[in-house]
Amino acid sequence: VQLQASGGGLVPTGGSLKLSCTVSGLTFSRYAMGWFREAPGREREFVCGINWSGGHSWCPDSVKERFFISRDNTKNTLYLEMDNLKPEDTAVYYCAADKKFGNLLIEVNAREYIYWGQGTQVTVSS
C-alpha cells in the first residue's frame, strides 16, 4: 500500500493550497480517509476526515471554515483544499487510511489509521 501526498509549499498568510494524496494497493473507495498535521514540537493533529463514499466529512472548528476535504474514488485520490492560511497552519501534512474496511465513521484518533503517506510540508509566512 502506498499513499503519495503532494501539493505543499510556501505561501503567505491568507494564501491557498490544495493537497493531493494518491493511493495505491488497497480498495480506496471502501476506506475512510483523513488528513493530519504535525508541527515541530507538537503532537500529530487531526485536520479533516471523510468517509469512504465521500458523502460525509468533518473538520474541527479550528479549520472547518477554511479547509475542505474531498475525494475522487475514480482516481484513488484524496484532496485537502486550504484557504485563508495562517502561520499556525505551518506543519507537515499527512494523509492516512482508516484501518477498518468500510468504516462509516470518521475517526479523529491517529491510532485508528493504518496506512500513512510520507507527508508534505506546508509553510505559511507571516
pLDDT at residue 103 in the model: 87
pLDDT number for residue 104: 85
Cell 493530519 belongs to: 36
**Looking at residue 100, what is its pLDDT?**
93
Q: How many C-beta atoms surround the C-beta of residue 108 within 10 A?
A: 16
Tell me which residues of the chain have a pLDDT lower than 70: none
Which residue is it, cell 500500500?
A: 1
